[in-house]
Structure 1
Amino acid sequence: MPHIYLVRHGRTTANKDGILAGRSKGVNLDNVGLDQVLKTSFALSEIKFKKVFSSPMERCIATTEILLKNNNYKSKLQISNDLNECDYGYWQNRKLKDLRKEKMWKLVQNSPSKVTFPGGESFLNILNRFKKFVIKESNKLKKDDNLLIVSHGDPIRLFVSYCLGIDLDKFQKVIIDPSSITIIDIWKKDTLVKTMNTRIDLISKSKSVLGGGAG
């Protein structure tokens, strides 16, 4: 089976300030995020990626560029809108503490399958576009090829939930932290979640190599 590496972008200024950034422009990695991604890059340094894709958002592109600095990947980074953050519509760029007061908040947390953000998209649409993209690209790979995708929390959580057979209404129980690594083996429609939400910055302060290295 091909191996799909899903990495969430590092911590951003919006994450730090409790803001739902969505597709807002100018949201960049903060110093903590830069450090997180650097440590993650050491873990992925010896993985030979067949292709590398990123969401078009600046925070994901910046994360991908750091990851590839310590990797021998020579091909061009590819951008796909299918990997983009959720279009939160009128919720975008608002503080989470204020959004929690909205009537729709409980629906977002408990019945996300019924949610379409005002002026934005539904969780189901996020899942469908992300899933379609990953399956399409994985079908182009050979056995043991590696694919790197850098995206956002909700798209990755939704796809991981799908791979685990978790109902969409339960996807909020899945945690995907900034700069975490999730590895999924996929062949046609068969999926195997090998590791989820692995945070290198918490595991070790050394230059750990994921899946290998001495000792």
Structure 2
Amino acid sequence: MATVLLLRHGRTTANASGELAGRRPVELDDTGRAQASRVAARLDGLPLAAVVSSPLIRCRQTVGLAVPGAEPVLDEGLTECGYGDWEGRPLKELAQEPLWQVVQHHPSAVVFPNGESMAAMSARAVEAIRSWDAKITAEHGADAVWLACGHGDVIKAIVADALGLHLDQFQRIVADPASITAIRYTAGRPFVVRLNETGELGSLVPPKIDGRERAAESDAAVGGGAGGGV
């Protein structure tokens, strides 16, 4: 089967301000554009059989910089989770909601108010990736490499499925802005051959947090967060 490169969009203005972007038309900030441009160098010389993207503008902007000249196919299956009433709110504020702890520890049970369930998000994202992978393999062969640009929680859900993990374990996975995760699907099982690869080590530096937030540092940032050092 083909190999898919899962590219998370670059940092956005919402990532930088600590807000949950959701499906709002939030765009890349200067850092995000620089991150996406650096992806182009990492992909240089790699023949991509196809480029598929979430329809949200931050992913389209990322693809435009990371794969110049590409004409991505937009797939709603890769769009951000529908966070409903949570969209646009600060993560610090959301962390005080009772639902936050369910998101952290039992995401398979989460249905966002006036939004989507995390289980539904996972199911449609996994279906989209597996369907595209089968199609590209049939058309271009088992050695084909293709790219899909999406969002933090979406990519984490796809990776959890590939690793055979229950969705309740997906918060243990990290997908930083402009990171690449590679999965090769086979008849027997998927292989995760790269995970959260950014091409540099600065992103391993944890973001600074003050004493009031220290107790919650083990929580996963809903939506994927802004990553570490840039």
Q: Same fold (TM over 0.5)?
A: yes
* Residue 36 in structure 1 maps to residue 61 in structure 2: no
CA contact (8 A) 1:109 1:172 kept: yes
1:86 aligns with 81
Superposition RMSD on alpha carbons, in Å? Answer: 1.5
**Residue 143 (1) aligns with residue 142 (2):** yes
SS of residue in 2 equivalent to 1:93: coil
Aligned partner letter, 2:19? I
Could you state the TM-score of these two structures normalised by the residue count of structure 1?
Answer: 0.89
Question: Using the alignment, how far apart are the partners of 1:185 and 1:23 within structure 2?
Answer: 28
Structure 1 residue 98: Cα displacement? 0.5
SS state at 1:104 partner: helix
One-letter amino acid matched to 2:16: K
Q: Which residue of 1 aligns with 2:225?
A: none
Q: For residues 116 and 22 of structure 1, what CA distance do their matches in structure 2 show? A: 14
Aligned partner letter, 1:146: V
Match of 1:157 in 2: 156
User: In 2, distance between residues paired with 1:94 and 1:188?
Assistant: 42
Mapped to 1, the partners of 2:202 and 2:181 lie a distance apart of 14
The answer to whether structure 1 residue 110 and structure 2 residue 109 are counterparts is no
Aligned AA for 1:105?
A: W
* One-letter identity of the residue aligned with 1:39: R
Corresponding residue for residue 216 of structure 2 = none
> Counterpart in 1 of 2:193?
194
| 1:177 matched residue in structure 2 | 176
Change (3 A) 1:99 1:146: same
Alignment TM-score, normalising by the size of structure 2: 0.83
Per the alignment, residue 2 of structure 1 pairs with: 2
Is the contact made by 1:138 and 1:188 (CA closer than 8 Å) also made in structure 2?
Answer: no
User: Relative to structure 2, which stretch is displaced further, 185-194 or 155-164?
Assistant: 185-194
CA distance in 2, matches of 1:166, 1:172: 11
Match of 1:209 in 2: none
Displacement of 1:144 in angstroms is 0.7
> Partner of 2:64: helix, strand, or coil?
helix
Deviation string, structure 1 residues 23-55 (Cα, Å, up to 9, x no partner): 012x11111111111111100111111110110
The residue type equivalent to 2:143 in the other structure is D
Q: Distance in 1 between matches of 2:194 and 2:166?
A: 19
1:189 Cα offset (Å) = 6.4
Kept after mapping to 2: 8 A contact 1:55/1:83: yes
Q: Deviations for 1:86-134, whole angstroms, at most 9, x for unmatched residues?
A: 0000001100000011111100101001001010111111111111111
CA distance in 2, matches of 1:201, 1:46: 19
Corresponding residue number in structure 2 for 1:213? none
Does the CA contact (< 8 Å) of 1:83 and 1:151 recur in 2?
Answer: yes
SS of the equivalent of 1:49 reads: coil
Q: 1:129 aligns with which of 104, 114, 124?
A: 124
Letter in 1 for 2:35: Q
Distance 2:132 2:144 in 1: 11
Looking at secondary structure, tell me which structure has more strand per residue: 1
Runs of 4+ in 1 over 4 A off after TM superposition: none
Contact map agreement 1:53 1:77 (CA 8 A) in 2: yes
For these two proteins, the number of residue pairs brought into alignment is 199
